[in-house]
Structure formats: structure tokens, C-alpha cells
Chains A and B, each alone.
Chain A
Amino acid sequence: MAKARGLVAVNVEECKGCRLCVEACPVDVLHLTNTFNTHGYSPAEYDGEGCTGCGICYYACPEPGAITVYKNWAEAQEAYICQTKKVPSRLTVIDSVKGLAQCEACGQEVILSNFSNLSFAE
């Protein structure tokens, strides 16, 4: 069994529910939901555990910003820079299915699928 050290976050508003990521995931940890996003698609969702961070779903996905893969979550969570206070911080996952985490520095909720608005130390 591959080591579950990654984290995948789906931006439900950008997802069109085409199912390509679900089919591509080698460890089968993505599924389509029965709910609808505001554009009328049933988006993909992470099972909540088991992501290896391989990135295959990212390349399978035709939508530029629908999937974000943290290849090594342990490293990423330590490298986080608080967006409010602009200081090095740390993330704690509060909902792995919805891709929500909490910033240690400001205490605010961080949407992990909103990748282009986040920053991490190099």
C-alpha cells in the first residue's frame, strides 16, 4: 500500500464533474458527490484519507484550478505563510474531505483548494 502522505483539495466551484480524476486516481480516493455546485455540476470530492500525493489527478483534470495536490502535506503545512499577518505559520487540517485547514497564526479557516491565493515558503 502506497504511503498516504499527500493531500488533494478539490475546488468544487471550478469542478465540472467530468469524472476523469476519479478514473485516474490509482488509489481510488476520489469520488463524485450527489450535490450540485452553483454551475450545476456534481463535483468530485476527496474521500478524506489515502492520498499519496502522486499528482495524477491534477494532470488528468482539464480545469486549470479545480484540483490542487499537496504532494507532501507534512512539509506543506509547516511551510505555510499566514495570509493575514504575512508571517510563517502552520496549518492544521480541520476537514480533509472539504479541504479546509486552520492557520495557527491568525486562527482563520484556510481553503486549501484556493491555491492561487495561498503562499508557502520556498
Chain B
Amino acid sequence: MSVKILGKSAAFYDTYERRPGSNQEQTHYCPGCGHGILHKLIAEALLDYGVAENSVFISPVGCSVFAYYYFNAGNIQAAHGRAPAVATGVKRALPESIVISYQGDGDLAAIGGNEILHAANRGEAMTVFFVNNAIYGMTGGQMAPTTLIGQKTTTTPYGRTLQNEGYPIRMAEIISNLESPVYVERVMMADTRSINAARKAVRKGIKNQIEKKGFSFIEVLSTCPTGWKMSAPQSQEWIKTTLSENFPLGVYKDVADQVEPLNLEQNLATPARVPKLLGLDQDNMSFDDSEMKLAANIDQEIKISGFGGQGVLSLGIWLSEIGMRENLEVSWIPSYGPEMRGGTANCHVKLSNRSIGSPLVTHPTILVAMNRPSLEKFEEDVVEGGAIIWDSTLIDVEPARKDIVNIPVPATQIAKEIGNTRISNVVLLGVLSGFSDFLDPMVVQRVLPLIFKKKHLLEINLKAFQKGLELGKEINN
């Protein structure tokens, strides 16, 4: 004999200890709010299918932001609208878990409109519950994308108009038009019959995920008595008479029976896997400070500037790569226009023994200018006693300042002689290394093979570096 009792589901906490304040026996929802009913339906289904322990509930921003107070399951609270993205990550890392993305209409249809479309389009094997109450409840009853034409909210005090705010968005219809989702239904919670239908949809959505069928989307028309300024029974009546007329109920897509279960592989970013993904497991290069010839105090702020395509940004990255292996603190930020080639680009590099506060270089200690506009633009910014290294093949003027170290390098000419004008930046790297006391040539020569993985490229680049290095050393003497 099994006793039939309907009571508080064990998928809820007994007391809501995560809820601050003295009231830990009630949910924080307003009296008559639909969230509670949907929570109960989901909890019941999770428990009945025996997956409550194995579930991860992603709560949104909105009234249900605190769903983690109640569900005795894995809980994550996502940034506004990003529940499907978080759910994607959880599902891929833990493919055996049941991942539920629970979102309201402000969260899913407005700020998260993009996230949900792409999660649905990828057919992520998750279950999405979309609570549509045609209003922003949490923030005080503002217009949502789902607000009906004529509906009064605090931001549409005369009612939503077509001219000003457009039509309400019907998410179930939109999602069902994508290829990937396996199950899309719109239900309501307005009376006994409809709540029963909602219960079935909730169960189907979760069962689909247990059977690895793919993306399920259940839109639930739900009450917001406070936002709608109605009593709870009036709110349910309004769903029946008005809201469901504008958001037709029904199954919009159901191909769950026709699709094969997905083969979900675990995709976990373990600490051991990260270096492998980044190729760092091949890079066992580290130096002791005693192996390198470096200045005691290094605090360099370098600006590299030139045409897009000259390797301006790359040179900056190399400097920081080398700096890292010299156990220095490094930073690099690029600044460039929308063009990939042509236009001007520059980057800011810092190399220091001390922690770097800001990566921005406004007064460089070294300026590397690879074209005339760059020299003219940044010359004035260089600190007194700083260095300006400039490509004398391309720049036909001299720096006007006399309080700086002037280093003209025919980098493009040298690169051309070696065989490729595109390696002029490597020539400049060599000059920097030879001239300065913070780029040990031994380290640079061992880092270059990590940068130029193709053998024929490495050869020519090493040659360019060597040539630059000689020039740099000459300047130093």
C-alpha cells in the first residue's frame, strides 16, 4: 500500500536557511505569484524522476533570482539574461546532470534575447522554463517585451502603443522556428485544468533532458498580482481572458520522439587540461634570475606605433612574452582602428619588477615609431632621457627633440635585404634587445622558436633579430 499524500516536496529545503531575515518558512514571492506554483511543479517532477540530487538550477535576474533559497539542488545565479550561457557551460562540463534554466520575460526576452536564441539554435541539451507575466515584476512593474498592446505599466502609463513600443514578442513561436529545439510548448497557470497541463509540460521538458533529447522550451503564462494591481484570483482570470488570447497556448514543436538521443561528451576544463589547450605543456622554458643579464631595476613603458600590418601589435606581444620569461610583471594593450591592414595601430607595453597598476602608457620611456605619423604623434609624449627608435627607411624626418636618445634604424631596408619587408619588426626587436638592459638576447633567441613555429620562418626571423642585435649593441657602445 502506498499512501498518497501531496505535501512539500523533498526537492525543496525544509527551512529556507539561505533566505536572510526572520522569515525562513515562506518564499519571498508575493501572495498569488505564479513562480511558487511552477517551482512546485518542477520540484515534483525532479523528485519523481529521481534526478533532484543530480540537477543544477540556473536562476536569472528577476523575482526568481533567489530560487537558490528554495531548491535543494545545484544552484547557480546567472548575470542578467545569461542563464542559457551558464547552463550551456554546466551541461557541457557535467553532461549527466539535469540543467534547468529558469527565466522571466524581462530576463529572457529583453536583455537575454540573444543568449536564448543561440542556446536554442545550438540545441543545448537543457530545459528552459520561461515565465511570462508580461511585465517586469521585480523592479516595480515596468513594460517588458511581452507587455500587451494597451497594457498599462509604470513605463507605459497610457498603455503600450504599437507606434512607440511595437508588438509583444512571442518567444515560443520564435524558438519553435529554429531547427534544433526538440520541444516547445506554451502553457498557462490559470486554473486547475491549465495547471495540470503545465504540470505535464514541465514533466515532459525534464524527461526530454533525462533522455538526452536536446533543447526543451516551456513558456508559462504566469500571474503577477502585484505588478498587474489585481488580486490573485483576478490575475488568473486575466491570464485566461486576455493574456492567453495574445499568447496562444499549445505545442509549437515536438520532435522529441523522432530524434536520436544526443551523444554528450564531458568537456571539462581541468587544471591539467588548461596548459595543454594553451600549448604550455610544450613550453618547459623557465630561467633563473642568475642565468640572465638584466638590469636590477626595470620599469619600462613602451609604445610601439605604425601602420596596421607592420607587426606593431605582434612586437608588443613578443615583448610581453619575453618579459614573462624574464620573471617580470608585464602588460600589453592594443589600440587600433577597424582596418586589419592600413590605418594606424599602436600598443602599450609595460615591463617592470613591480606590480603594474595601469597598463596604459601615456609617457613612454621608449617609443618605437614605424611610420611618420606615429613619430609625429607620440614624439612629444616620450619622457626626458627616453629613447625613440624609428624606421629611417620609411620616415623622412628626424625627431626634433634633443633631450632623448635618438636611434634611427633602417629596419625596412635591412628586412628587405634579408628577404622579407614584413620582418622589420623583428629587426627592431633585435635593436631593442641589443640597446637595452631588460631584454636578454639569450632569452629572446629561445623564445623566438615558440613564436615562429614554422622552420623556414624561424630561420629568416632569427637572421633579422641577429642583425638588429648587432646594430643595437653598436649604438650602446
Contacts and interface: CB of A to CB of B under 8 A. Distances in A.
Interface residues of B, number: 40
Given A64-B70, A69-B7, A72-B4, 6 more contacts: A11-B25, A59-B6, A64-B36, A67-B7, A70-B5, A115-B5
Taking residues whose C-beta sits less than 8 angstroms from the other chain, chain A's interface range is 35 or more
Interface string B216-249: 0000000001000001110010000000000000
7 contacts: A24-B191, A26-B192, A59-B37, A59-B40, A59-B41, A61-B40, A64-B8
A120 B231 CA distance: 37
B54 interface: no
A17 B3 contact: no
A65 B12 contact: yes
Contacts of B35: 62
B10 interface: yes
Given A58-B6, A59-B199, A120-B5, A16 B192 contact: no
Given A39-B23, A65-B25, A116-B14, A71 B40 contact: no
A68 B5 CA distance: 7
B26 interface: yes
B32 interface: yes
A121 B40 CA distance: 24
A69 B6 contact: yes
Given A39-B26, A41-B31, A116-B14, A64 B39 contact: yes
Given A18-B225, A24-B191, A56-B192, A62 B3 contact: no
Interface string B196-215: 10010000000000000000
A18 to B, nearest CB: 4
A58 B2 CA distance: 19
Contacts of A64: 8-9, 12, 27, 36, 39-40, 43, 70
A36 B331 CA distance: 63
B5 A71 contact: yes
Interface in B1-49: 1-10, 12, 14, 23, 25-27, 29-37, 39-41, 43
Contacts of A79: 1, 3
A23 B3 contact: no
Interface in B51-103: 70
Interface centre among B7, B29, B32 (most CB of A within 10 A): B7
